[in-house]
A = this chain, B = another copy of it.
Amino acid sequence: MEFTIQSVCVPTRDGYDWVDVQIQQGRITAIAPHLPPLGTLINGHHKLLLPGFVNAHTHSPEMWQRGLIAPLPLELWLAELYDFTPLAPEKIYWSALGTAVETLLSGGTTVVDHLILIPGQEMETIAAAVRAYREVGIRAFVGPLLHDQDFITSLPTGGQSRSPVPNLRSADETIALAKAAIEQFHDPAAGIHIMVAPTGPQLCSDESLAGLAALRDRYDVCLHTHLLETRGQHLLFTEKYGCSAVAHLQRLNFLGETTSLAHCVWLDDADIEMLAATRSTVVHNPLSNLRLGSGIAPVLKYRAAGVNVAFGCDGSASNDSQDLLEAIKLGSILHNVTDLEYRHWITPRQAVTMAALGGAKGLGLQAVTGTLAVGQWADLVLYDLENLSLLPRTDPIGQLVLGRPTQAVHSVWVQGDRVVADGTVTTIHLDTLRAALLDHSEWHAQRTSTTLPQFQTYYRQAMGLAAD
């Protein structure tokens, strides 16, 4: 399919230009004013064209619990979250579809789904999510969430004694699951990438982490995991490793150019240097870090050290949205309170680069997506600058990043295929999605978890909070 977006506003180095953009066979083939019309013509008048962003960390099944979990720190929030799994594969399909739709309608063309698996139905879970992403047409990196240890081991002891608990599964079984997922579903040509994605060092044995890391070279896949999200994890790793978790991951050969690490809130300067040296990517999830009280990731330090940073929404139960523009806004302005030197603050243009190119780099795709340039895939988002939320006319990228765009995405193409037109997803029926989400759910007021009280006393003691 060939098409030309005509007279569209695009950012230049310091300003804007109005150009025609030609796309052939999924790639950008020309960007210049007044090109000869080629293929379908798209009117770019009063519209802004940007490269698609990457929603670089989420957990799609959490959509079923968004708005539901009380304000709690991660460790207790997780107890609430896991109490209400497992889900059915059908629900996995619908929440993946919902996650993709919200990502597309907020400027994303790629989603990284750190996918919570239904125990005993691991392959069915992955199949359901992959089906949704193929149908809607978003580029998806699906990382089955894998760990071999019990939840209690993810909490620091704070000196409390703890009985040994059996592993959930062996390291070999854990690694076998990842291999099976890759062999069955990894299909980059179709826009479906399987990642190797342990839950995090707080729930994984060294044997499983090293074995999973080794799959990167064997299959040429990306690595992804949670890292140092909370103060509790920082305390845990000091107990568990006696060294920084970053140094430990480095010894296990887990870091590298196609490794992306979600959160990275509690890293010190030496850790930051190690991420820079290994060219690992930090995925910043500002909204869930606030919602769960995890802290403010030292993103200005990452940028100063040359660490690549991308943005993620995180799962919908800890945010509780999949609006990527909201994550980009907060992920930019949040850090202004951490450094008096305002010349370090993230500008809207820098935020757009982080969201597009930063996201692509973390997935090893910077040669083909993340930039508006001839030769790149046509992962493109067209914003309607006549939308009330982007008016009056000022600086379009400033409005997009610092404002609160509402239904401002006009069109989206993923590798040249149009998946959003006139503000509506064209590849699936949104009314069917809405009906499914409505039908498979019910209103709650105060849901009661049995797991939360079980861990709360232990957690409060470990974290030095007053006893009940």
Contacts and interface: CB of A to CB of B under 8 A. Distances in A.
B394 A66 contact: yes
Contacts of A291: 333, 336, 402
A463 to B, nearest CB: 7
Given A76-B342, A391-B434, A337 B295 contact: yes
Contacts of A64: 392, 394
B321 A403 contact: yes
Interface string A425-468: 00000100110011011111111000000000000000111100
A187 interface: no
Interface string A373-396: 000000000000010111111111
B323 A404 contact: yes
A279 B431 CA distance: 49
Interface size class of A (residues with CB under 8 A): 35 or more
B445 A403 contact: no
A9 interface: yes
A294 interface: yes
A314 to B, nearest CB: 12
Contact of A392 (B63, B290, B400): B63
Copies in the complex: 2
Given A14-B446, A65-B394, A438-B392, A72 B342 contact: yes
A352 interface: no
A78 interface: no
Contacts of A39: none
Most buried by B among A71, A287, A294, A319: A71
A348 B15 CA distance: 41
A-side interface mostly: loop
A289 interface: yes
A443 B395 contact: yes
A66 B14 CA distance: 18
B406 A443 contact: no
Contacts of A217: none
A384 to B, nearest CB: 11
Given A71-B342, A399-B67, A399-B320, A391 B437 contact: yes
A120 B65 CA distance: 55
A341 B68 contact: no
A403 B317 CA distance: 9
A398 interface: yes
6 contacts: A66-B394, A67-B394, A67-B400, A71-B346, A76-B342, A394-B444
Interface of A: 9, 14-16, 46, 63-73, 76, 98, 101-102, 231, 287, 289-296, 316, 319-321, 323, 326, 330, 332-334, 336-337, 339-342, 345-348, 386, 388-404, 406-407, 430, 433-434, 437-438, 440-447, 463-466
Given A63-B392, A290-B333, A321-B404, 15 more contacts: A14-B445, A68-B395, A76-B342, A102-B388, A290-B330, A291-B333, A291-B402, A293-B336, A294-B337, A321-B402, A386-B438, A394-B441, A395-B445, A396-B443, A406-B407
